[in-house]
Structure 1
């Protein structure tokens, strides 16, 4: 592919002109605040992936101070360049993602600026690592304030309208420090309030004999091994393909269902109404939508499945749930399935994620206080769903709500802008199709709340405002004309 002479420099100039003509970003208007001499942030965002970047950009455009904290090295936030193994994104290339309504901020504009319109027309789907490069550019071109290699240790809401964040600065030998913010947003991705889920019997196996699909592992390490993959979704296909391409001797996909789902039902509800209004639907309808998607499941992408099946040593076992596994005396794994035992050298669990507060010690102070859906909503008959029941019951602006009113002052100042918000808020907190809608709605809501919290200060500032529009010499006072009575 050839690079047009205009390139990224011209695109960046175009974006800056767009922002300038729209008077963005707005000047900071929230009164600066300190506490015991320490700076208080308007907002703090935990997580510098796509969701965190889109929200930070939206807040910055509204003149609200924000800062992102991420535990990863710069450029490696999110899964794209680390644990994700798909060749391309699963979303159509035309989706505008975190562009926030700016054509010059889309992946397409970024791609065409470097490779041209013909290359875009020839592109099927967005290469995963190119998406990672695009997000790096997005962060840089918008000048977002991201602090990398900062490990969150604790989130501690206070009764005085602030949230304390305890961090370890891994750039500085793990130095401990605190940050104070008026509002905190957890933009922590797919495993936002928990982590990878695996059955208990997997944890009993030697750690070097198994991995979760979200773990960091190299396909080359599986060369010559018999690999069993549990699952039949997108991550299972990506894991199996990575093992096969790394030289695995054999890969067996153990798929519980008798057939792979064929239709992505979620696409059938992909419209602006869902993006803007899902959060306001009655609880019964929210549950019905999300439960149906869970039951139907999302099929693995066409290309991802072919990436596996083109290997002669890939074996699809449908209707084959796994009940357990153990290590034999000779070191081989015995995997027990509904079709009998299977010998394997390595096991990859593509079993998804679950909300599990015990996996996130940084949330220990708030975990017992957060109201879950199961605390106030009974699933309709025949629609029991553990994943949904364990979801946080969020308020209109993604805020946590207390199980017991008043028991945890300040809890509502912590926002859940990650996958765990799906039941309360829909797919607006992490999915590429709706991320701009979610980020902008949350940013506007935070701006409105900050205004309300400081309303007396803003009124006082208005009364003190003294910049004259007129100097007083723009006119000459006239002599008022005499009034003459009408003659009879």
Structure 2
């Protein structure tokens, strides 16, 4: 759809919404009054909560923590306004999620995408809108950050994480070419889909010169594919988006190399999106946690309807089904890709093989990686139900905390996609991000109170603000009243 509105009208509508939001936040008492005693260690300040990542998960957690009187610091290595994948590596035209989902709005209507959109473009445009354009979602998150006053430090890259036995987590942070050590009582990893690893690179590509291929999550200029014969391995959402982007940038052809003989057609994950599972995943028996997540993984999520049409509308797009890639070899200036259906001679290959939990790809976690308890040590699935992704998932405690044999490791909270087996999809995806953020924020508040309970009890004892000053009543003469009440 095309959205038309004057810049002046949009700015005026947004200003009106922001005034409404300020009143809503005032009504809700947000942010709540700070109540945690400040702390120092080695004569240096210790933050209460540091969050790695200022994408939608980090921003939602910032608001949730504000609701319980905690102000976090968010560190993000990306430059200002380019946090998360939306304006960098994501290539879909629109989000998959229905526009009605409130995402990180945290139950505040005036903080929702719907309110932000209508304020600028009107209710008629909202009614006409099908799915949310990707870059418009990024614009919304930029606005969200600004109006909530999130303390985001851009250009800050965490290069090491070291939990200490005294409950403080030390993190080395590189910014402006200088590395300094920060201290925090609680560290939250809001690091996204590849939060504990990175792109999955199949063995058949690992020895191939990188100039012949890219992963769909890589930053690259798709205009360089103009006039080239391109292959795309996979058939998920990112595969379709990469294929479409290549075609739209003038690729001579795009061959989708799809292992399955038929594309999955039903998004089973949508069928699991009920409040009982959103709030109850952690309480399920291990067998049911595994069974549900493995079933969704095995069924696979189909590419979105619109993303698939975005590819198939091109005559030079080819869907090669039952075409599993076996090897890739450089021959001259071409890439020979051997599949179960035969050999494809291509100029460039895009592999869309998803992400994996792979600690070796995240050197900043080298100190904790050997100590994190995984589901592989907690649960053994029945024969035929093995799942590498689930086995590699961290076995998290009730507040997303890592568990393991390293003192202080439970002061690090995994609020990103790898938490899905333990807690469900409440730590990254749009539908339940507010639920996950609220759960973690409220839990952190309880941990801080427990950790400082002596100080809080002393403060309770010392509390002496009078409710009454003694002038509000006159003491009765009880003996006289008793006589008056005699028969």
TM-score bracket, normalised by the shorter chain, equals: over 0.9
Alpha-carbon separation, structure 2, partners of 1:240 and 1:108 = 30
Alignment of 1:21-170 (within 5 A): 21-169=27-175
SS in 2 for 1:126: strand
Aligned twin of 1:365: 367
1:279 shift after superposition: 1.5
User: Structure 1 stretch 477-486 or stretch 283-292: which is displaced more?
Assistant: 477-486
Alpha-carbon separation, structure 2, partners of 1:8 and 1:367 = 45
Alpha-carbon separation, structure 1, partners of 2:90 and 2:485 = 91
> In angstroms, what is the RMSD of aligned CA positions?
1.4
CA contact (8 A) 1:219 1:244 kept: no
Aligned twin of 2:255: 252
CA contact (8 A) 1:418 1:429 kept: yes
Aligned twin of 2:350: 348
Aligned twin of 1:205: 208
Aligned twin of 1:190: 193
Q: 1:472 to 1:206 in 2, by over 3 A?
A: same
1:480 shift after superposition: 3.2
1:32 shift after superposition: 0.6
1:381 shift after superposition: 2.1
CA contact (8 A) 1:103 1:109 kept: yes
Aligned twin of 2:308: 305
1:469 shift after superposition: 1.6
Q: 1:476 to 1:287 in 2, by over 3 A?
A: same
Aligned twin of 1:430: 428
Pair 1:225 & 2:228 matched: yes
1:471 shift after superposition: 2.1
Alpha-carbon separation, structure 2, partners of 1:79 and 1:42 = 27
Q: 1:348 to 1:486 in 2, by over 3 A?
A: closer
Aligned twin of 2:395: 393
TM-score of the two chains, using structure 2 as the length reference: 0.97
Alpha-carbon separation, structure 2, partners of 1:484 and 1:90 = 81
How many residue pairs are counted as aligned between the two chains?
A: 480
Alpha-carbon separation, structure 1, partners of 2:423 and 2:467 = 46
Gaps of 5+ in 2: none
Alpha-carbon separation, structure 1, partners of 2:378 and 2:276 = 26
Alpha-carbon separation, structure 1, partners of 2:157 and 2:204 = 30
Deviations 1:114-138 (A, max 9, x none): 0000000111100000000000000
Aligned twin of 2:467: 469
Aligned twin of 1:378: 380
Alpha-carbon separation, structure 1, partners of 2:446 and 2:33 = 16
CA contact (8 A) 1:59 1:443 kept: yes
Gaps of 5+ in 1: none
Alignment of 1:409-448 (within 5 A): 409-448=407-446
